[in-house]
């Protein structure tokens, strides 16, 4: 298997992009990526998109996006794993280059979520859960994560304020990110006074509905050194795991088993332990999700995610920074683009190009992208070389 590097990254500003179409934002991110890489060579394209059909009435992205990128004969494949679609697209690109099938693969994540009514948004997002045994009976993703939050508070004493501290920290980081949908700081009081969504989760505990796209260009380390435009960043480990799609069928709803297993597999492949990681971009679709993810990864002990956040351990200047980009909460969550955007942030940090949110001496990063209520997960380990 060949050693793999990321030579280009490209994003657009996330938000409610009424004036742009699905194809517009995807092409913009791809062009930004190629400009960053210093090459326009693309042998193949992997596309992460959860539901172009329900959100936009557009399937067949493997023809549409290469066409409007001016590469209509380039082979392309679409990858879907709910909210983990983007991360899985990066993994697919990695495997294609590592195997020798292609030398340059563009991993492109995109979702255009705001062109439909709230009812269709809710219906579409509910398809990431169990359609027959959860969505059909009226429980949606906020409801599922609310159940986890209630159980976590009951078992570990996690407080309502500790949940709010996750949002406060991520908005503080996101205020420094020019790509963020909501680049403003908030307070604990802001979170506690926001509208109740699913008790105990309030509006500011939840990631927003977002339009956005992100792209990374992957090649071999050998090819990357020939181009030499950007500092070298490699992907040294990848781990994937699945869990039951229905929350009620899990052994313990307070454990993200897919996250734990994917993390172990990624770290093993990279020859690392969690203590070797300098920072992480994780899937904070809800504030309780970030708390449970950092526990599943072994960054903190079980039940200590809320306390660790409140004590500043996961802050930008803390012992283990989490979501320097602002995370899904502040940067936004265009589902198919999220996992690719996490990779973009990790690369910026490892290059030392993250500006005011730059983590000091960042050499090794972890990105964690998951689908639904934790039914699928993909983790990447990246290193500066």
**Is 176 domain-assigned?**
yes
Q: How far apart are CA 43 and CA 228, in angstroms?
A: 19
pTM of the model: 0.98
- Cα(140)–Cα(152) distance, integer angstroms: 19
Contacts of 360 (CB under 8 A, 6+ apart): none
Q: Is residue 132 part of a domain?
A: no
Model confidence band, residue 30 (pLDDT cutoffs 50, 70, 90): very high
Judge if 361 and 248 occupy the same domain.
yes
Task: With respect to residue 254, please indicate whether it lies within any of the assigned structural domains.
Answer: yes
Work out the percent of the chain whose per-residue pLDDT is above 90.
Answer: 100
Mean pLDDT of 155-159: 98
325-364 pLDDT, tens digit per residue, is 999 999 999 999 999 999 999 999 999 999 999 999 999 9
What pLDDT was estimated at residue 17?
Answer: 98
Q: Which domain holds residue 18?
A: 4-117+210-227
* Residue 23 covered by a domain: yes
The two three-digit tokens of residue 357, written as one number: 């949110």
Q: What DSSP state is assigned to residue 358?
A: P
**pLDDT one-digit tens code per residue, 257-267:** 999 999 999 99
**Chosen domain end from 227, 257, 283:** 227
Collapse the DSSP code of 345 into the 3-class scheme (helix H, G, I; strand E, B; otherwise coil) and give the result.
helix
Q: Give the 3-state secondary structure of residue 16.
A: coil
333 carries an active-site annotation: yes
pLDDT, averaged across the chain: 97
Q: How far apart are the first and last CA of the chain?
A: 19
Cα 80 → chain centroid: 14
Q: How many domains does the chain have?
A: 2
Same domain, 276 and 303: yes
Asked if residue 127 belongs to a domain, the reply is no
Residue 371: what pLDDT?
98
Alpha helices (H) along 234-379: 257-270, 287-296, 305-310, 327-331, 335-351
Residues 111 and 198 in one domain: no
Q: What's phi and psi for 108, nearest 5 deg?
A: -120, 120
- CATH number for the domain harbouring residue 321: 3.40.47.10
> Is 152 assigned a catalytic role?
no
pLDDT tens digits along 114-140:
999 999 999 999 999 999 999 999 999
Catalogue the E-assigned strands of 132-226: 196-198, 201-202, 211-220
* Residue 229 confidence class, pLDDT cut points 50, 70, 90: very high
**pLDDT tens track for 270-299:** 999 999 999 999 999 999 999 999 999 999
pLDDT of residue 243: 98
Quote the pLDDT of residue 263.
98
Q: From the candidates 333, 344, 377, 380, give the one annotated as an active-site residue.
A: 333
């Amino acid at each position: 298997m060949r050693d793999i590097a990321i030579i280009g990254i490209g994003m657009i500003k996330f938000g409610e992009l009424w004036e742009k179409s699905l194809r517009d934002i995807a092409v913009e991110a791809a062009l930004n990526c190629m400009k960053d890489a210093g090459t326009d060579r693309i042998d193949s394209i992997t596309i992460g998109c959860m539901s172009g059909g329900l959100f936009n009435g557009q399937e067949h992205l493997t023809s549409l996006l290469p066409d409007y990128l001016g590469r209509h004969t380039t082979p392309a494949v679409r990858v879907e794993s709910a909210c983990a679609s983007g991360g899985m697209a990066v993994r697919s690109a990695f495997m294609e280059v590592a195997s020798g099938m292609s030398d340059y693969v563009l991993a492109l994540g995109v979702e255009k979520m705001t062109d439909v009514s709230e009812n269709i948004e809710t219906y579409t997002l509910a398809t990431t859960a169990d359609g027959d045994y959860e969505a059909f009976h009226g429980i949606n993703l906020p409801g599922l994560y609310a159940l986890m939050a209630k159980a976590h508070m009951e078992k570990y004493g996690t407080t309502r304020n500790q949940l709010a501290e996750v949002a406060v920290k991520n908005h503080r980081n996101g205020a420094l990110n020019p790509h963020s949908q909501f680049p403003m700081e908030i307070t604990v009081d802001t979170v506690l006074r926001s509208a109740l969504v699913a008790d105990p989760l309030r509006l500011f505990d939840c990631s927003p509905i977002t339009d956005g796209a992100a792209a990374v260009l992957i090649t071999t380390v050998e090819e990357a050194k020939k181009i030499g435009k950007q500092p070298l960043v490699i992907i040294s480990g990848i781990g994937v795991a699945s869990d039951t799609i229905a929350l009620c069928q899990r052994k313990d709803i307070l454990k993200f088993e897919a996250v734990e297993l994917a993390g172990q597999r990624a770290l093993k492949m990279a020859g690392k332990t969690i203590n070797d990681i300098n920072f992480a971009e994780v899937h904070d679709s809800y504030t309780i999700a970030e708390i449970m993810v950092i526990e599943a990864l072994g960054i903190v002990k079980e039940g200590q995610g809320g306390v660790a956040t409140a004590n500043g351990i996961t802050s930008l200047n803390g012992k283990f920074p989490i979501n320097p980009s602002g995370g899904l909460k502040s940067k936004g969550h265009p589902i198919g683009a999220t996992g690719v955007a996490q990779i973009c942030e990790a690369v910026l940090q490892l290059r030392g190009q993250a500006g005011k949110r730059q983590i000091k001496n960042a050499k090794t990063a972890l990105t964690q992208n998951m689908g639904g209520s934790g039914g699928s997960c993909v983790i990447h380990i990246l290193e500066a070389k």
